[in-house]
């Protein structure tokens, strides 16, 4: 498992009975997590004194029960800074388990010894975009939600990389990639964080199990002749890390790459264990084809 264990402004304090107790900077939040199926004693007093708790509704969805939580606040990770905002469906705009992937991508870009162009698809609030920009890459950031792209711009500004070489695109990711193929545009690295289910700005339906492989295979058409890496993230519990790796190996067959897939995790302070939080496949292209 790849564990994001270098955080200072985020902490997974404890997890029990379907919930996480988390520290986001100075704010203590409780959020539901379906993977937390164990029932353990909640000894930490912050379970009873949290600043906000996301309560599930019996009819679906839910809402935040807040005390004095600000509308937004900032947390830092290394040289990066992000804006946290409690939003619908329990999210805060940041997936802290992805930090281990940000570190890896930054190392790959900085050690490449050349300019690197990155295509970030389903790019959400742009944490990976900010990381790649900070490492010196140019980035094309694509997401179907206009509000998420605006938030990503805020995060780039907070991380002091908004003036770097970046394109902000609001579009359906598959349609955008198809147009890039027609334009002949190529990228040295591709990051994608596709949802389990979603709709594009024109009502396009996305379902991961049916659409992931065709989409990854489509993306092979925008990978440059000197590729550096491809990263695929998944939070769909029905797809194992090995399955995502198989998808990548098959879609990019013949490109000289090798894939490694693992679960992502967050260390839990109360127990010393690591909570699984989705999966990632990293495909590296070293050797001559990658410009080494």
Sheet order of strands, 10-16 included: 10-16, 19-24, 27-32, 52-56, 62-66
Identify the CATH assignment for 2-84 out of 3.40.640.10, 1.10.8.10, 3.40.50.300, 2.60.40.1180: 2.60.40.1180
pLDDT at position 14 over 90:
yes
Q: How many CA atoms lie within 13 A of 239 on its CB side?
A: 25
CB 125 within 8 A of CB 151: yes
Measure the CA–CA gap between 226 and 26, rounded to whole angstroms: 44
Q: Convert the pLDDT of each residue in 184-220 to its tens digit.
A: 999 999 999 998 887 766 777 778 888 899 999 999 9
For residue 200, what pLDDT is reported? Answer: 67
Mean model confidence pLDDT for the chain? 93
For residue 19, what pLDDT is reported? Answer: 97
For residue 67, what pLDDT is reported? Answer: 84
Closest C-alpha among 141, 190, 186, 188 to residue 166: 141
Burial readout 204-217 (b: 16 or more C-beta within 10 A, e: otherwise) = eebebeebbbebbe
Bridge partners for 3 per DSSP: 265
pLDDT at position 160 over 50:
yes
Q: Convert the pLDDT of each residue in 136-155 to its tens digit.
A: 999 999 999 999 999 999 99
pLDDT at position 127 over 80:
yes
Alpha-carbon distances, residue 125 vs 122, 182, 275 (angstroms): 9, 27, 23
CB 185 within 8 A of CB 224: no
- The CATH architecture to which 96-290 belongs is 3-Layer(aba) Sandwich (3.40)
For residue 201, what pLDDT is reported? Answer: 65
Residue 8 burial (CB count, 10 A):
10
Q: What angle do CA 261, 100, 93 make, to 5 degrees?
A: 105
Contacts of 124 (CB under 8 A, 6+ apart): 93, 143, 148, 152, 193
For residue 56, what pLDDT is reported? Answer: 84
Measure the CA–CA gap between 203 and 194, rounded to whole angstroms: 16
Region(s) of the chain under CATH 3.40.50.150: 96-290
Measure the CA–CA gap between 188 and 228, rounded to whole angstroms: 5
pLDDT at position 291 over 80:
no
Bridge partners for 231 per DSSP: 191, 282
CB 101 within 8 A of CB 231: yes
For residue 208, what pLDDT is reported? Answer: 85
Q: Convert the pLDDT of each residue in 43-82 to its tens digit.
A: 999 999 999 999 988 777 789 998 889 999 999 999 999 9
User: Strand 197-199 vs strand 27-32: parallel, antiparallel, or unpaired?
Assistant: unpaired
Measure the CA–CA gap between 124 and 132, rounded to whole angstroms: 14
Closest C-alpha among 228, 281, 286 to residue 2: 281
CB 51 within 8 A of CB 64: no
Region(s) of the chain under CATH 2.60.40.1180: 2-84
Measure the CA–CA gap between 285 and 229, rounded to whole angstroms: 6
Q: Tokens representing 36?
A: 């937390």
CB 30 within 8 A of CB 22: yes
**Residue 233: is it exposed, middle or buried by C-beta count within 10 angstroms (0-12/13-18/19+)?**
buried
């Amino acid at each position: 498992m790849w564990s994001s264990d270098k955080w200072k402004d985020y902490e997974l304090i404890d997890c029990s009975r379907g919930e996480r107790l988390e520290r986001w900077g100075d704010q203590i939040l409780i959020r539901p997590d379906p993977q937390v199926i164990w029932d353990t004693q909640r000894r930490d007093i912050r379970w009873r004194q949290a600043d906000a708790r996301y309560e599930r509704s019996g009819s679906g969805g839910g809402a935040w029960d807040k005390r004095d939580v600000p509308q937004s606040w900032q947390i830092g990770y290394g040289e990066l800074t992000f804006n946290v905002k409690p939003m619908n469906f329990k999210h805060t705009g940041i997936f802290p388990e992805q930090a281990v992937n940000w570190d890896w991508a930054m190392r790959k870009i900085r050690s490449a010894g050349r300019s690197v162009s990155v295509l970030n698809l389903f790019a959400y609030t742009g944490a990976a975009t900010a990381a790649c920009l900070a490492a010196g890459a140019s980035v094309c950031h694509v997401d179907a939600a206009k509000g998420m792209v605006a938030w990503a711009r805020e995060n780039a500004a907070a991380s002091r990389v908004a003036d770097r070489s970046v394109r902000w695109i609001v579009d359906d990711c598959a349609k955008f990639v198809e147009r890039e193929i027609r334009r002949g545009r190529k990228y040295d690295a591709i990051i994608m964080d596709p949802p389990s289910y979603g709709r594009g700005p024109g009502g396009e339906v996305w379902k991961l199990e049916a659409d992931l492989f065709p989409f990854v295979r489509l993306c092979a058409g925008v990978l440059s002749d000197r590729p550096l890496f491809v990263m695929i993230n998944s939070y769909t519990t029905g797809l194992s890390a090995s399955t995502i790796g198989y998808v990548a190996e098959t879609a990019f067959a013949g490109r000289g790459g090798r894939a490694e897939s693992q679960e992502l995790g967050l260390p839990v302070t109360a127990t010393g264990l690591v909570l699984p939080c989705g999966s990632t496949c990293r495909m590296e292209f070293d050797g001559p084809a990658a410009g080494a």
